[in-house]
Amino acid sequence: MSRQERTDLPPVHEAWLPREHPLHRPRHGKRQLAALVCAVLFFSAPVLSWAFGARAEQLENRPLAEFPSVTDGWGFFTGLGSWATDHLPLRRQAVRSVDALSRGLFGEPARLAGGSHTSPIGAGQADAKPPIDENVFPAVIEGENGWLYLGHDVSYKCVPKRSLDQVIAGLRRWRSAVEASGRKFQLVIAPDKSTVYPENMPPDYAGKDCSNRARDEFWRRVPSATGAVDLRNELRTVAARNQRPIYHDVDTHWTHEGGITMTYQLAERLQPGVTSSWKVLPSRRYPHSADIPDLLGQDRTVPIQAYSLAPDGGAEDNTQFRPSDFHQPLHLESVPKPGMITRPMRMVGDSFSQFASPYLAATFSNVTIVHPDTVAADPVAAAQLLAEGEIVTFELSERFVAGGRYPMLDPAIADQVGAYLAAHPIR
C-alpha cells in the first residue's frame, strides 16, 4: 500500500482498533457512565431537593451563589460548582459531620474549604486565582479560651490580590475623586478581631508570620497615607471601660459598642463637640446568630446588648434598627434635632456597619448606606447615589483592604464615579 493510500484511509477511533494494535485504547464505558451519573446527581440534587420542599441554608455571611447565566460563556460551567455546593440539601449537617469525624479520628478540626469561597463575611469579592492556593489556610482558627477567628484574617493578608502600594493608591484615588467635587470624605478601617485581640489567637497557626508582617505594615502605613480613621486604641479603651470585649468571642464582628464608637469618631471629625449632648443607655438584649460557627456547621447564638441614643440628651430614643446587608441601599432619615448632623451623608459600608447603622440613623438626619460590592458592580448607580451626599464616608474591613480584595479599589471605578461627582459638585 502506498503512502498516499494510507493517508487517504478514513479516520478510526482508537477504541475501534483491534485489541492487539499498539494504539488501541478502550472507551472505559462503565467508568465514564459512573462519572456521568455522579455529575448528574451532584448538579441535579439542589433542584430535586427544592422540588420536594428542601431549601438551601446560608451558612456563611454572604448571599448563596446564584445559578450562572448562559451568557457567561465558560463561566457558566465554572460557576455551576459553587452554585451546586451552596444549594446542596443538608449542607449544614454534612459540614458538622465532617468536622466531628475529623476531631474524633485526628483530634483536629476539619480543613473545610472556606478559603476558596468568595468572602464568607461581608463581601463577595471575585478575583483571579492567586498563585498560592488559599486552601492551605483554615476557614476557622480556633484560639485560646474558646475564641474563634475567621481564617480570612490570615489568608487574605498572606495571599493579597493587590500590593499595599496599589491599595493605598486606590484609597487615595477615591479621596481625591470625592474631595475634588467639594464633598467631605471620611475613611474608616474596621480592624479585624485578630488585630484588636491577638492575645487569644493560638500559639501557632498556618500563616502566622506572613499575616503578622502584613498587619504591622498595613497599620504603619495606611492611616497616615490615606487619612483613614484608626479605631484600634479607641475600641480597646471602650472595652476596658465597659469591662467586656468589644468583639464577640465566636463572631468576627464588633458589638454594638463598636458601632457606637465608630459613630462617635465620625461625628466628632465632622463637627467637633457635637457628641457632647448625646445620651447613650442600654436598651434591649437579644440573641445574635454568630457567624464563625456557621462555617463549622454549627448554629450558635450569643447575647448582644443594644443601646438607645438621644442626640439632644432627652428621653426619646432616636435609633432605627433596620436589618440590611446593604447590597440594596439602605436609606435612613429622621427629623433633625439638636446634636445631629444635618448634612446628607452617603456611605459605603460592609457588615461592620450593620452594628453602626442604628446609631448613624440616630445622629445623622439623612444617611444612605450601600455595600462596596454594589459600588463595583454598578459604578453609574453608585455615582448617582454618592452625589446625593455632602459627606461621603467609607467603612471598609481590614482583611479586605489589606488583602486588596475590594473590586472597587480598581482606579477605573474611582475615576468613573469621580467624573460624575465632578459634574455634580457641591456649590
Question: What pLDDT does 299 receive?
Answer: 87
Q: Give residue 117's pLDDT band: very low, low, confident or very high (50, 70, 90).
A: very low
Q: Report d(CA 364, CA 358) in Å as an integer.
A: 10
Q: Tell whether the model's pLDDT for residue 101 goes beyond 80.
A: no
Residues 364-381 pLDDT 10s = 999 999 999 999 999 999
Report which listed range, 63-67, 98-102, 296-300, 404-408, is most confident.
404-408
Q: Annotate 291-307 with b (16+ C-beta within 10 A) or e (fewer).
A: bbbbbbbbebeeebebb
pLDDT number for residue 427: 77
Decide: 120 and 61 in contact? Cβ < 8 Å.
yes
Alpha-carbon span 407 to 398, nearest angstrom:
15
Query: Could you tell me which of 253, 348, 246 has the C-alpha nearest to residue 294?
Result: 253
Q: 183-217, pLDDT tens digit by residue?
A: 999 999 999 999 999 999 999 999 999 999 999 99
Q: How far apart are CA 144 and CA 154, in angstroms?
A: 16
Q: Tell me the C-alpha distance between 47 and 41, whole Å.
A: 10
Say what the pLDDT of residue 297 is.
86
Residue 294 has pLDDT above 50, yes or no: yes
Lowest mean pLDDT among 28-37, 279-288, 311-320: 28-37
Buried b (16+ CB within 10 A) or exposed e, 396-418: bbbbbbbbbbbbbbbeebbeebb
- Per the prediction, the chain carries an average pLDDT of 83
pLDDT greater than 60 at residue 407: yes
**For residue 136, what pLDDT is reported?**
83
Does pLDDT of 262 surpass 70?
yes
Quick count: other Cβ atoms within 10 Å of Cβ 157?
Answer: 24
- Which three cell numbers mark 136? 492551605
pLDDT value of residue 33: 63
Mean pLDDT of 270-277: 97
Q: What is the pLDDT of residues 350-366, one digit of tens each?
A: 999 999 999 999 999 99
Give the model's pLDDT for residue 31: 58
Question: How confident is the model over 325-334, as pLDDT tens digits?
Answer: 999 999 999 9
The predicted structure's pLDDT at residue 125: 38
What is the value of pTM for the model shown?
0.74
Q: What is residue 237's predicted lDDT score, i.e. its pLDDT? A: 97
Question: Which range among 62-71, 85-94, 166-175 shows the weakest confidence by mean pLDDT?
Answer: 85-94
Confidence of residue 116 (pLDDT cuts 50, 70, 90): very low
Place 64 in a pLDDT band, splitting at 50, 70 and 90: low
Can you give the pLDDT at residue 43? 56
Determine contact, residues 251/301, Cβ cutoff 8 Å. no
Q: How confident is the model at residue 221 (pLDDT cuts 50, 70, 90)?
A: very high
What are 177's three cell numbers? 475623586
Cα separation, 41 vs 120, in Å, equals 26
Out of 12-21, 42-51, 318-327, 352-361, pick the least confident: 42-51
Instruction: Provide mean pLDDT across the span 8-27.
Output: 64
The percentage of residues in the chain with a pLDDT greater than 90, rounded to a whole number, is: 66
In the predicted structure, residue 25 carries a pLDDT above the cut 80? no
